[in-house]
Structure 1
Amino acid sequence: MNATSIPQSADDVLNETGSAAVAVAPVSTGERIDTLDFIRGIAVMGILAANIIAFGQPFEAYMYPAAFKGDPGDPGGWMWIAQFILIDGKMRGLFTLLFGAGMYLFMEKAWARGASRGLQAWRLVILMCFGMVHFFFIWPGDILFYYALFGFVALACMKWSVKTQLWVGLGGYMLGALLLAFTIFPWLIVDTSFGEASPELLEQRAGMIAEIDNTLARGDIPNAAIAAGDYGTLVTHRITEQWYEPLTNAMLFGFETLPLMLVGMALYRMGFFNGGFAREKLLRWGWIGVIAGALAHLAIGLAVQSTGFSYYGTLAGFVGMSPLPRLWMALGLAALLVAYAPGATGWVGDRVRAAGRAAFTNYLGTSVVMMLVFHGWALGLFGQLNRPQLYIVVALACVLMLAWSKPWLDRYRYGPLEWLWRCLTYRTVFPLKK
């Protein structure tokens, strides 16, 4: 649903014990993998498009259009279908692949300087803390926590062979897709004739329909607090009533997150991100994955549309039906971006790369900006914008990301939060200004 920062390479000078030395070398242009920065930049902007509905409307509206406060402004649900095809889950998939690649890149350089995996583990602890702050005090759509959580598992798999990482990752993803398919059954019971096959199923149908109102009602307090600008009530509710959600989110998304981390590690080691694959193959298989995945998503979207974008229909579409075509599209998009990134050398391309270099700051910073746009203590637009208007907010926020990132990185070595994360990782205050 939503997306996270991607660890950049550790180009710091380490002593023989793996701790930080006093002098730390900045990341030089030649040491960076330019393609990773470009894909990060695309993904960090795309993730906002995926999350914008949950920022500006009740969280449930992310999947379920009827949860909008007012008219969604989407006759026929075609914008819902377009976002479902092009954005939802794909940007998160890209981020997860890059997270795995970034973890291995970090450790590759750390190992070369005598460090152990303990350095990466400490880095993940810090990331988990960032995630907790994000969830409780800024926005509950955080994924940093479970990225860090499953990062610990991926860390234990780093010395596996490339083939093992790749096939365990792909196999684990397939198994997760099968397990998540259970969410299709509530849709069959409530919205199709299957639920009329027996008195027992009819009874289950009645209970499931009643549960929809209960589920939506759980958002009443935080939604009212956001609209009223009652930040204290909002944070208190998250701490006392929603404290368990980072763990339940981890359980739900873990079927995707850990496998894609392993696949990302394997792809990095195979040279996928830095010229190890022929461009013709990247284009061919990239377009096959994107087109096949898009067509499958279209079929799912039309099926959900046929039942009027019902609660259980949208749940089944997002969670139960889309994992496999989402994998095709995430891998296809990654291949296409790798193929096209070297040609993106103009003004826009440079700024996209800069946004990717500051992906951590842009991800968390976007959540803060959305608070300023939607919370009642600021602009107070929560629940007042329909889907097309929310997409305008996305466009303006992307312009902001592109506008600040490059000028900042022309003057400073890292993005603000990238610098803070680095300082906390090595327990040293590094120079920020170039």
Structure 2
Amino acid sequence: MGFALVETAENEREVVQEDASLSAPVVRASRIASLDFIRGLAVMGILAANIVAFGQPFGAYMYPDGFLVPTGDPNGWLWIAQFVLVDGKMRGLFTLLFGAGLYLFMERAWAQGQTRWLQARRLFWLGLFGLLHYFVIWRGDILFYYAVIGGIVLLTLRWSASTQWRVGFFSYIGGSILYAVMMAPLPLVADTKFGEQEAFSAMREGLAEGKSVALADDRIEAELVQSGDFAGVIAHRFNDHLTEPLSNLTLFGLEMLPLMLMGVALFRMGMFSGEFDSRRMRFWGWTGVVAGGLAHLAIGLWVQGGGFTYYGTLAAFMGLSALPRLAMVIGLAALLTLCARSASGWLGQRIIAAGRTAFTNYLGTSVLMLFVFHGWALGLFGKLNRPELYLVMVCTWAIMLLWSKPWLERFRYGPLEWLWRCLTYGKVLAFKR
């Protein structure tokens, strides 16, 4: 699907931004609205993916039995719906757009005689934001990974767009095969009679122990959160999860690095600015979404048939869904780019504004969830089932849509976007319009 979509762009595009200076605000006319529109939907969708891990132990993100209360989803259909429609797709879209944003930023920098060191400083500060997010606010941070992997992508920006696409596409395929080889056998050994053979006894015992350790760690953190021991939560992360951001780099890098490269390539080829044929984009977009969605549904039904076991859900998320996820991510990016062209109404403009303040919305959501769930605040951690958590999600979406547009009518950037920009350029920039 990806190659056919890319081939609709006959020539690569080199955009020269016309901003008066690097420190000037990105005015509406110079922005590619499709990037903001997709980014706005993606940052909302990331909350849909993460809401369970905000309000329940971290393992409940994949494993329904990790809930501290009945899930409110006895047959697992909500789990399947989220798995098919949301999980991994929103992160994938966000990653694709992060790659496109890297190149857009550098186009403006190069036009003003700057070098990649400006982007490197920008990524350095993003990494620090990510580590602060991880250790102090929420363990589900992705900003640190974006900063490190973005630094690798920075070295490839002078490649041709076709090279970036091919390296990204084929490395994603290779990573997907590796994920499948690593993860797919786990439920076979842990949950079936096949694993009862003497040859697999040690592996089966190791998997059982690994599950017990992970769930016990979830219980420790849950008790700290419910008790309102905020300092204890932070200490637990430093004591027991200090190296997790580094150890997960390889795991996430197999997906994020290829997607960022493909995002750069698609941006340069003109996908997000309307240079691809609309009919082909629509055809390949729906092909990717439908084919990838059906594959996800088949995987979800297999997990349901197996009783939503710990290693069955892990294999579904990490080992089996990577390839169909790529089809859905590229397909969604194509369809949403087409939708962005008509996003001129009340809702569309507010989604675009949420995308322009995505950094603030992403971190701000994590801060808001502290007040909703932690014991020192409203104390709802571990008390809401899946449908109730979705209600919290919808209310938070409403907040994103309500504040972002009025804010941008008065200020040039979102609060954290402004701070990040000031740190990048090393000076205080104009904030109010």
1:116-135 to 2 correspondences below 5 Å: 116-135=115-134
Q: Match for 1:195: what amino acid? A: G
> What RMSD in Å do the two structures reach over aligned CA positions?
1.3
Please report how far the alpha carbon of residue 206 of structure 1 lies from its aligned counterpart in structure 2 after TM superposition. 3.3
In 2, are the aligned partners of 1:97 and 1:260 still within 8 Å (CA)? yes
Residue identity over aligned pairs, in percent, reads: 58
1:189 is aligned to 2:189: yes
In 2, are the aligned partners of 1:63 and 1:314 still within 8 Å (CA)? yes
Q: 1:406 maps to what in 2?
A: 405
CA–CA distance in structure 2, aligned partners of residues 13 and 364 of structure 1: 30
In 1, are the aligned partners of 2:98 and 2:263 still within 8 Å (CA)? yes
Q: 1:213 maps to what in 2?
A: 212
For 1:59-106, what per-residue CA distance to the aligned partner results, in whole angstroms no more than 9, with x for missing partners? 000000001001011021000000000000000000000000000000
In 2, are the aligned partners of 1:169 and 1:263 still within 8 Å (CA)? yes
Q: 1:252 maps to what in 2?
A: 251
Q: 2:328 maps to what in 1?
A: 329
Please report how far the alpha carbon of residue 396 of structure 1 lies from its aligned counterpart in structure 2 after TM superposition. 0.2
1:25-424 to 2 correspondences below 5 Å: 25-181=24-180, 182-196=182-196, 198-424=197-423
Q: Match for 1:186: what amino acid? A: L
For 1:119-144, what per-residue CA distance to the aligned partner results, in whole angstroms no more than 9, with x for missing partners? 00010000000001100110010000
Q: Match for 2:88: what amino acid? A: G
For 1:28-63, what per-residue CA distance to the aligned partner results, in whole angstroms no more than 9, with x for missing partners? 111100110100110010000000000000000000
Q: Match for 2:146: what amino acid? A: Y
Please report how far the alpha carbon of residue 203 of structure 1 lies from its aligned counterpart in structure 2 after TM superposition. 4.0
CA separation of 1:379/1:103 partners in 2, compared to 1, >3 Å: closer, same or farther? same
Please report how far the alpha carbon of residue 225 of structure 1 lies from its aligned counterpart in structure 2 after TM superposition. 1.1
Q: 1:3 maps to what in 2?
A: none
Moved more, 404-413 or 215-224: 215-224
CA–CA distance in structure 2, aligned partners of residues 168 and 309 of structure 1: 35
Q: Match for 1:319: what amino acid? A: M
Q: TM-score, normalised by structure 2?
A: 0.94
Moved over 4 A (4+): 9-14
CA–CA distance in structure 2, aligned partners of residues 354 and 387 of structure 1: 28
Q: 1:5 maps to what in 2?
A: none
Q: TM-score, normalised by structure 1?
A: 0.94
CA–CA distance in structure 1, aligned partners of residues 311 and 19 of structure 2: 49
CA–CA distance in structure 2, aligned partners of residues 348 and 383 of structure 1: 33
Please, which runs of 5 or more residues in structure 1 have no aligned partner? 1-8, 15-19
Please report how far the alpha carbon of residue 13 of structure 1 lies from its aligned counterpart in structure 2 after TM superposition. 5.2
Q: 2:428 maps to what in 1?
A: 429
CA–CA distance in structure 2, aligned partners of residues 81 and 11 of structure 1: 46
CA–CA distance in structure 2, aligned partners of residues 234 and 352 of structure 1: 34
Please report how far the alpha carbon of residue 12 of structure 1 lies from its aligned counterpart in structure 2 after TM superposition. 6.4
In 1, are the aligned partners of 2:64 and 2:71 still within 8 Å (CA)? yes
CA–CA distance in structure 1, aligned partners of residues 303 and 201 of structure 2: 21
CA–CA distance in structure 1, aligned partners of residues 17 and 343 of structure 2: 25
CA–CA distance in structure 2, aligned partners of residues 303 and 107 of structure 1: 45
Moved more, 164-173 or 24-33: 24-33
Q: Match for 2:83: what amino acid? A: F
For 1:215-256, what per-residue CA distance to the aligned partner results, in whole angstroms no more than 9, with x for missing partners? 211223221111111011111111222111111221211000
